[in-house]
Amino acid sequence: MILAWVHDVVEGVRSCLTGMRTTGHYLLENLRGSGGATAITREYPEQPAERVGARQRGHLVNDAPRCIVCHACDTACPVDCFTMDGERDADNKMRASRFDIDLSKCIYCGLCVRACPTDSLSMTPAFEVDPRHDGSRFLFRRSSGQLGQRLDAPDVERLQRLADQPRESLAAADRAWLDQHIDPNGPHLIGMYGLGYFTPEQKQAADAAREAKKRAKEAAAAAAKAKAAAAAAPPPAPPPPAGGTP
């Protein structure tokens, strides 16, 4: 019992000295301004970051054209920050008509990125609340009453176009429409990456194109089956001779 207690004390002192030796080594390098440990606390935002690590978990983004709306990320997310919906396009493939990420909830754990089967989700190195991504607006603040809005594809295009312009340059009608969909002081910071729902006309055209492709595929399969059956059928028996059996 006493030997075990002495052993624990010795191990505790040894581990403490090891940690202090490592800390002292980096402290001396910082004081001298040499070596690889010269990092100091920066007065952000007056002194912005000069370099961001390659493994930095910044804002979460989704490449909507690659998304198949499988909900794997939604299942893996521990804080339920995803809202998504999809619909079939003319090629019978799922497209993300809505994909919203509530960055006000996101804890930047990266579990959704691991779960995504198409690698459409990624975490950018950007850690600031930058409203732009690849040259287009992608972050919007919304109030609680704006979270359930259904935006058609033309609405999404209009929202991105208007939000990317100075507010004072917009017409009164555009400013009023913009205020209905985003709130500069909203409590929810939403990353919008959906392509927008089909309008009734777009949906009708997509459904018609998909149905036409389906019928053409079925017709081609039926023709191939008939051709294969004809090739596998035995040749007809030759007719008997005209004079009968000799």
Q: Is residue 220 part of a domain?
A: no
pLDDT of residue 173: 94
Q: Is residue 3 part of a domain?
A: no
Q: Is residue 48 part of a domain?
A: no
**Average pLDDT score, the chain:** 87
Collect the ranges in the chain with pLDDT lower than 50.
none
Q: Is residue 65 part of a domain?
A: yes
* Tokens read off for 43: 């007065």
| Structural domain range at position 110 | 60-192
Q: Is residue 129 part of a domain?
A: yes
Q: Is residue 24 part of a domain?
A: no
Instruction: Give the CATH number of the domain where residue 78 resides.
Output: 3.30.70.20
Instruction: Report how many domains make up the chain.
Output: 1
pLDDT of residue 38: 56
For 61-115, how does the pLDDT look when each residue is reduced to its tens digit (9 = 90+)?
A: 999 999 999 999 999 999 999 999 999 999 999 999 999 999 999 999 999 999 9
Q: Is residue 208 part of a domain?
A: no
